[in-house]
Chains A and B, each alone.
Chain A
């Protein structure tokens, strides 16, 4: 149980970090290429959200395979665990996205 909790917390921070790091450094790159940094920040945050989720889960195939195994073997615990992992990753990614949204002063998409 503790191990699951550790993984969930780790997922939240990894996905949040992917969004924050990717977007903030990406917007620095946007300045060098003559684009609007605030606008790029919002665009990147929106685009990276789904990738942050995938990155935090360490590749989606294991999760999908575990869900498949859980369904076929009627192991609801395995499915619930994977759903929790997905939700924790989403939570971190969305938290990072919202933080950037408030920094850049944009509207939620």
Chain B
């Protein structure tokens, strides 16, 4: 009886593992799409909030959108999405700022050499290019910070 039950549980586990291996790539894609949409939703919501708040000043040139690009090609798309999310949180304060009052030096210093946490790691950002306009664009580079992990024996 116990043997049969154990065999059934083992069979269920093996089935779950095989199904997981078979569907892993599709589930990964769906997860990635969901995360991208979540970031996009957050970005759009924040932008909308700022623009609505600054509606009265719509004649002056304002930062309406902040775009983040990474200068180097990365193979870890999960990391890029996580970094983008972390950076967007930092740059949302720029949306709604008047362009003629915005200091380029401060805009660069907002992210340059800043350490952010993403995808279970810490990364130092470097601002390679900054384009200040209604659609402000940051072109960033990043490097991982190595530290002793807690889960090492």
Q: Does B9 contact A (CB under 8 A)?
A: no
Number of interface residues of A (CB under 8 A): 22
Q: Does A58 contact B (CB under 8 A)?
A: no
Q: Which residues of A from 8 to 31 have beta carbons under 8 Å from B?
A: 24-25, 27-28, 31
Residues of A within 8 A of B31 (CB): 34-36, 39
Per-position contact with B for A36-61: 1 when CB-CB < 8 Å, else 0? 11110101000100110010000010
Out of A28, A39, A43, A60, name the residue touching B153 (CB < 8 Å). A60
Out of A24, A38, A43, A60, name the residue touching B25 (CB < 8 Å). A38
Interface 9-mer from B15-23, B53-61, B91-99, B103-111: B15-23
Q: Does B151 contact A (CB under 8 A)?
A: yes
Assess whether A31 is in contact with B151, with CB atoms less than 8 Å apart: no
Q: How far is the CA of A39 from the CA of B80 in the complex (A)?
A: 14
Tell me how far the C-beta of A67 lies from the nearest C-beta in chain B, rounded to whole angstroms. Answer: 17
Question: How many inter-chain residue pairs (CB < 8 Å) link A and B?
Answer: 46
Residues of B within 8 A of A105 (CB): 25
Assess whether A36 is in contact with B20, with CB atoms less than 8 Å apart: no
Tell me how far the C-beta of A36 lies from the nearest C-beta in chain B, rounded to whole angstroms. Answer: 4
Q: Does A103 contact B (CB under 8 A)?
A: yes
Q: Does B148 contact A (CB under 8 A)?
A: no
Q: Which residues of B from 25 to 77 have beta carbons under 8 Å from A?
A: 25, 27-28, 31-32, 75
Assess whether B27 is in contact with A38, with CB atoms less than 8 Å apart: yes
Given A27-B17, A36-B32, A38-B24, list of 13 further CB < 8 A pairs?
A24-B21, A27-B20, A31-B20, A36-B27, A37-B20, A38-B25, A38-B28, A39-B28, A50-B152, A50-B153, A51-B153, A103-B21, A107-B75
